[in-house]
A and B are shown apart, each in its own frame.
Chain A
Amino acid sequence: MKVTVDFDLCESNAICMAAAPEVFEVRDDDFLYVLNENPGAELHDKVREAAERCPKQAITLED
């Protein structure tokens, strides 16, 4: 799975971080960092949930 974030859409509200903190982190500078662009299978459910929950629909997943 490949994770990409459209940073033009992202508003750094950190909702994805609550769903998959292993992959998404919003730091104190208010920017989102993708910690792992190719998360392992054990994280796929969480990452999918993060993508669904992103209110800006900024996260794209490719298999």
Chain B
Amino acid sequence: MSERRIVVVGASLAGAQAAQTLRRQGFEGVVELIGDEPHPPYNRPPLSKKYLAGETDYDSLRLRSMADPDELNVDLRLGLRATGLDVEAHTLHVAPAEAGAGSGATAEPHTINYDGLIIATGARARRLPGVDLAGVFELRTVDDADAIRAAFDATPSRVVVIGAGFIGAEVAATAREAGLEVTMIEAQDSPLQRVLDRDAGMAIVDLHRGHGVDVRLGVGVASLVGDDRVSGVVLDDGTTIEADVVVVGIGVIPNTEWAEDSGLTIDNGIVCDATCLAGSDVVAVGDVARWDHPRYGLMRVEQWDNAVDQGSYGAKRLLASWAGEAVDPYAPIPSFWSDQFDRKIQLSGMPGEQFEIVQGSLDEQRFVQIYSDAHGAPTGALTWNRPRQSMQARMLLESDADMAEMRDTLGG
């Protein structure tokens, strides 16, 4: 049999991790890593934090897992986009990404035959519909971050952030710390209702207001105004906020359009079984994957930690299926962090209907809060500037600890 070929689509956190894992696991066939961005794989979290603040440079963003593709014998092809997929035929269609400057940018559109496919195309920032003005940005890529930084540096710079999700809140904090005038607008009456209870959401609002961010809650955006450049944001209640820079942080959309006619199930992500298998010889990992978590059901996670974990898992899973080995389902306790001003906000596990603070307080902006379900079983822990307890909570959740154990270890 000729050499096997595994193609990884999406050359970012999950894809790079998957490609590296294939080699670590001893896979000796061809590994091709295809990405439509012109840049070698890099890390996104600093884009709203230290990189946006100018405290770290581009080199520090580079992902270590793909620092040396040659050494790993990975064929890294940048500036190349997957445009179609036929799962039954095991073929992938690719074409140069229009603005790409990478090695794939000069290639003609062509077809790649694969034996195994790892889908890691992630997600992109949702845009405000119908807005085409200079000075309005989303934040997903390093190019976005560079453009926003340049806009921050131009004077005068009044910044409006639309959406008080984690990325919006981080951008607002970074802009404020740079001394800019910042307004953050949130349509709901408390931020992050999907992941935080109201009090914890309001603690984020208090944190921002305490640092001089003008936070507007429960009001939507009616329109953006300006000639070529944005000059203001009009709210539902008729007020206009003057703006030189608008950053839109209203969530992400999984990048699945290219695989629409592939035979895979697509529904808010690439739908997979409990082992991240999406179809014959196809796994999906990272922000794009919606898999059947044994504990939580179908879920898609937009978190750094999961992209690394699932990238490794997906690579191993593909190899295991060829070796005829059984694999455990992918059942991580999700966890993520967000840095805003001098606070480190971490959530391990999932939010729940009930919550209690077992250490510290909202007023101190340093606390440990345990979430539990209607039956009183713990589901997760939210911590502010309590990293040790956040990870302890994760370990406890992994071992199915009950509420008493959680209180015991995390309280006091």
Contacts and interface: CB of A to CB of B under 8 A. Distances in A.
Interface in A11-27: 11-15, 17-18, 21, 25-27
Contacts of A52: 17, 65, 308, 312
Interface string B7-19: 0000000000100
A27 to B, nearest CB: 6
Interface in B372-389: 385, 387-388
A11 B344 contact: yes
Given A11-B344, A52-B308, A55-B43, A30 B387 contact: yes
Interface of B: 17, 43, 45, 63-65, 304-305, 308-309, 312, 335, 337, 339, 344, 346, 385, 387-388, 390-391, 394-395
B374 to A, nearest CB: 27
Contacts of A4: none
Pairs of residues from A and B, 9 with the lowest C-beta to C-beta distance, nearest first: A14-B387, A14-B391, A18-B391, A26-B388, A17-B391, A13-B387, A57-B64, A18-B394, A26-B387
Chain B at the A interface: mostly helix, strand, loop or mixed? helix
Interface of A: 11-15, 17-18, 21, 25-28, 30, 52-53, 55, 57
B387 A12 contact: yes
Nearest to B20: A52
Given A13-B337, A13-B344, A52-B65, A21 B395 contact: yes
A5 B385 CA distance: 21
Given A14-B390, A52-B17, A55-B45, 16 more contacts: A11-B339, A11-B344, A12-B344, A14-B387, A14-B388, A15-B305, A15-B391, A17-B388, A18-B335, A26-B391, A30-B387, A30-B388, A52-B308, A53-B305, A55-B337, A57-B63
